[in-house]
Chain A
Amino acid sequence: QKEVEQDPGPLSVPEGAIVSLNCTYSNSAFQYFMWYRQYSRKGPELLMYTYSSGNKEDGRFTAQVDKSSKYISLFIRDSQPSDSATYLCAMSFVNQAGTALIFGKGTTLSVSS
């Protein structure tokens, strides 16, 4: 079992839809949870991060962490064609020794106008 599981999709939605992207993980020691967006032929772009459990909102994006279920989500409201990309979840420990991130394989999202 991989440490981080993410459904690769593809996920296709019409413009304006609410999108839900999810990851599950197995290591309860993870404390930081990140979401990255990656356009084709580009590097991943950090969208937002959450520490421990709870919700965090940034514009049309909301990140949720449920540590009891080892489940994290990213919600995109009023989705736009420009949101079409691969979304990667990433996790890390509170580690004094470094910043290694463990990634899911990514979910490909397509938003049609």
Chain B
Amino acid sequence: KAGVTQTPRYLIKTRGQQVTLSCSPISGHRSVSWYQQTPGQGLQFLFEYFSETQRNKGNFPGRFSGRQFSNSRSEMNVSTLELGDSALYLCASSGGFVAEAFFGQGTRLTVV
């Protein structure tokens, strides 16, 4: 069974630009969550999508948005990038059981 796939693995963007990250969940999983990981703050919850609807949202500014498609694949968008957005962005998929969330390898975003 294939795991969670995130693309691209690495990105370098300039301050002020926008970026879109992609996540393909484990087959059959309908829940996709996004997290930001930084050395200072650790792993922080961004939002969760289930059946194309945002079900939960963390405490991040509106520049961070996402969506989910009918095949459960999800994208995350960050607009007007800031230097502080440099982080590892992780996607997790779940079959519905809160304690079993499986993570992808992440997308390392560097904003210069």
Contacts and interface: CB of A to CB of B under 8 A. Distances in A.
Q: What interface size band does chain B fall in?
A: 20 to 34
Interface string A87-105: 0101011110111111111
Interface in A42-74: 42-46, 49, 51
Nearest to B41: A105
Interface string B23-66: 00000000101010000011111001010000110100000000
B31 A98 contact: yes
B31 to A, nearest CB: 6
Contact of B56 (A36, A45, A46, A100): A100
Contacts of A46: 100-103
B31 A99 contact: yes
Given A43-B4, A43-B103, A49-B99, A98 B42 contact: no
A102 B45 contact: yes
Nearest to A99: B98
A101 B58 CA distance: 10
Select the residue from A97, A98, A99, A103 with max chain B CB neighbours within 10 A: A99
Given A92-B99, A98-B48, A106-B42, 4 more contacts: A44-B43, A46-B102, A93-B98, A100-B58
Interface of A: 32, 34, 36, 42-46, 49, 51, 88, 90, 92-95, 97-106
